Structure 1
Amino acid sequence: MESFERARLDAYFTKIAARFSSEGDAASFLITHLLPERPAFIRAVATMSRLCAVLPKPKSISIAARREVERTVPVDTLSREMFSDPATAVDYVESRAGTDNLLLLDVGGYFAPALAELHARFSGRLLGVIEDTENGHRRYQSLETLPCPVVSVARSPLKDPEDFLVGQSVVFSTEAVMRERGDILHGRPALVIGFGKLGSSIARLLHAKGVQVTVFDIDPVRRTQALSQGFIVARDRETALTGAGLVLCATGAVSLRGEDFPHLRNGAYIATVTSSEDELDLAGLPEVYTRTMVGDHVTRYQTTGHYFYLANGGNAVNFLHGASVGPFIFLVQAEILASIRLLTGGGLAPGMHEVSATDRAVIATAWLSYFNR
């Protein structure tokens, strides 16, 4: 990022932070993709709360960005196990947060398994959670009870441009990985599993490239949507896998279980839009399959008479090439800052919440003034 671009980004976040200045003091923990442009957003979070730690998602860390952030904020190692054990989660948060009120800024529902225990331990001090992704939104929504407010930006209209552009980056990176091995998209029927925001974007982009696209989704409403947009809709997963030369997994849940992999057509490529722990049950794959790295980012799984390829170890394929969506990501980050003000202002009941349409309009107006040039 050029110096003038950094200055413009800092000015934008300064304006957003001032517009949504917090009404109370709180400590915060931030889970994020630590990409090259992320330090500016992290600085803005730190102006609106006492940022106790940044926890970067393991597969998306820019070394330069990490070094920049570490100068002012602790950067800790993140794993699912860190918050799946409530006692470990409570000990960690307590060691960093002290006696302050508490905000949890999440990407993917990491805090969800320990939320009840965190709320009990920090009774009256846990102001709430801010969740960025659809996968995380569903993790919180599926909890039996929500003990505190959860403000989700996952379904915000300000996130629509990001979702579309993430779809583009997924298709770009998938094609790049295939081309490294001398393969191309064309002539290879594709299966998109999941027809949500990302899956539908991926399906449309593949179709625009002349690829035959089949869609599979467990939601019958989404299947009707896919059919109305001209896609082939698979009746069942097994049949869809048999004919696919490329499988793109975009559910945010488990797309392929161990018993599904043997149904793949020989030489099929698999790529995902989230981490392998979310999308693929690789542990359930029959033990007769051997794994061989056949390229910088491609693993071949092979047994007698059958083989398939996995891109980027099953992790989000678009992060191989930076996963950049340009300045549109700053819309979502600004809404996260507005969510901080919403939680620190108090008055929200336990449950799922969203930023108001008025605040989203303020964000969009500010963004246009800085980036529509």
Structure 2
Amino acid sequence: METRERARLSAYWRSIAREFTPSAPPSSLLVTHLLPERPAFVRAVGEVTNLRAVLPKPKSVHAEAKREIEARFAVDELSRERFADPETALGYLETRAAGEPVVLLDVGGYFAPSLDELCEKFSGTVLGVVEDTENGHKRYAERDRLPCPVVSVARSPLKEPEDFLVGQSVVFSTEALLRGRGDILHGRPALVLGFGKLGSSIARLLHAKGVHVTVYDIDPVRRAQALSQGFGVARDRDAALKSAGLVLCATGALSLRGEDFTELKNGAFVATVTSSEDELELSGLPDGYRKTTAADHITRYETTGHYFYLMNGGEAVNFLHGASVGPFIFLVQAEIIAGVHALAGGGLDATLHEISAADRSRIAATWLHYYNER
């Protein structure tokens, strides 16, 4: 990042911190993608909270960004297993923030399985959770009850620019991998599983590139939306799998079970927009499939009479090229900090919440002050 850009970004975060620093800053644990632009956001979290540990998403760690963060904050390994077992999760929280009020900043619902234990037995106080993603939002929303407030920014209007641009980056990376092995998108019918904000962005960009796109979503409302926008909509998901040359998984949940892979058209490519643990049941792939490297970041799975290709090992394909969405990411990152402010202020009941429209307006106005060039 150029010196001028660093200065502008620092000024932006100083303004956000002035607006949303709690009167009594809590401690925090931060789950995050550690991409090249992320240290500025991490430092901002450190300004408004006592940041006790950064937990990088394991498949999206930029080495230089990690070194920069490690110089100022504790960086710990993140895994689903660490927080799936309540006792293990509780022990970890005690080592980092014993006796303190703490906010858990989440990306993907990592704290959801152990949240009851953390709220009931932690020696300090869990003030609440701020969740960034749609699949994480669902993990908290599907619980019968919540033991503390959860502020979700996953469905915020401020996240829409990020979602649109992530869709573009997914298509860019998918096309780059195909071209890297002498192939192209055109002539390869695409099936997009999931027509939410990411899936719809992917479908629109593929269509703009001249690709024949079919959409499937479990929600009939979204299927109707896809049809109204001119996309083919699969009546039968399994039949659509058999005819697609490219399958893009954008459900934010389990898209393909083990048995689904056997239904793929020979030579089909599969790519995802989130981690394989969320979208793909690779462990359920039937016995007999052999795995070989077909090209950089493309794995060939083959058994007698059938083969398909998996991009980036099933992890989010756009992270191969930085997954950058430019300065628009700073909008939702600021909303995460506003979520900290809301939780630290108290008064929220133990349900799902969103940031107020007034706070979103303040964030957008601040962002425009620094990033609207006209």
* TM superposition score normalised by structure 2: 0.99
Give the secondary-structure state (helix, strand or coil) at the position aligned to 1:28: strand
2:114 aligned partner, one-letter code: A
Report what 1:346 is aligned to: 346
1:184 aligned partner, one-letter code: I
Report what 1:118 is aligned to: 118
1:88-138 alpha-carbon deviations (Å, 9 max, x no partner): 000001100021101000000000000010001137711000000001000
Does residue 14 (structure 1) correspond to residue 14 (structure 2)? The answer is: yes
The equivalences for 1:98-109 within 5 A come to: 98-109=98-109
Report what 2:204 is aligned to: 204
Report what 1:294 is aligned to: 294
Report what 1:138 is aligned to: 138
Give the secondary-structure state (helix, strand or coil) at the position aligned to 1:55: strand
The equivalences for 1:209-288 within 5 A come to: 209-288=209-288
Q: Which range is displaced more, 75-84 or 116-125?
A: 116-125
Q: Which runs of 5+ in 1 are unaligned?
A: none
Q: Which runs of 5+ in 2 are unaligned?
A: none
Q: Distance in 2 between matches of 1:31 and 1:10?
A: 21
User: Offset at 1:296?
Assistant: 1.4
Q: Distance in 1 between matches of 2:262 and 2:218?
A: 20
Q: Distance in 2 between matches of 1:26 and 1:16?
A: 17
C-alpha RMSD of the superposition: 0.8
Does residue 52 (structure 1) correspond to residue 52 (structure 2)? The answer is: yes
Give the secondary-structure state (helix, strand or coil) at the position aligned to 2:160: helix
1:344 aligned partner, one-letter code: A
Give the secondary-structure state (helix, strand or coil) at the position aligned to 1:128: strand
The equivalences for 1:51-200 within 5 A come to: 51-122=51-122, 125-200=125-200
Report what 2:335 is aligned to: 335
Give the secondary-structure state (helix, strand or coil) at the position aligned to 1:293: strand
1:220-272 alpha-carbon deviations (Å, 9 max, x no partner): 11111111111111112210001100000000111000111111111100000
Q: Which range is displaced more, 61-70 or 162-171?
A: 61-70
Q: Distance in 2 between matches of 1:304 and 1:180?
A: 26
- Judge conservation of contact 2:135–2:252 (CA < 8 Å) in 1: yes
Q: Distance in 1 between matches of 2:246 and 2:236?
A: 17
The equivalences for 1:295-314 within 5 A come to: 295-314=295-314
1:253-294 alpha-carbon deviations (Å, 9 max, x no partner): 110001111111111000000000100000111111100011
Q: Distance in 1 between matches of 2:354 and 2:341?
A: 12
Query: Percentage identity across aligned positions?
Result: 70
Q: Distance in 2 between matches of 1:353 and 1:181?
A: 46
1:332-353 alpha-carbon deviations (Å, 9 max, x no partner): 0010111111000000000000
Q: Distance in 1 between matches of 2:110 and 2:329?
A: 21
1:139-159 alpha-carbon deviations (Å, 9 max, x no partner): 000112101000000000000
1:313-345 alpha-carbon deviations (Å, 9 max, x no partner): 000000000000000000000101111110000
Q: Distance in 1 between matches of 2:146 and 2:335?
A: 22
The equivalences for 1:307-326 within 5 A come to: 307-326=307-326
* TM superposition score normalised by structure 1: 0.99
Give the secondary-structure state (helix, strand or coil) at the position aligned to 2:262: helix
Q: Distance in 1 between matches of 2:256 and 2:111?
A: 25
1:3-40 alpha-carbon deviations (Å, 9 max, x no partner): 22111111100100101121223110000000111111
Q: Distance in 1 between matches of 2:94 and 2:10?
A: 31
Q: Distance in 2 between matches of 1:225 and 1:23?
A: 45
Task: Say how many residue pairs are matched.
Answer: 373
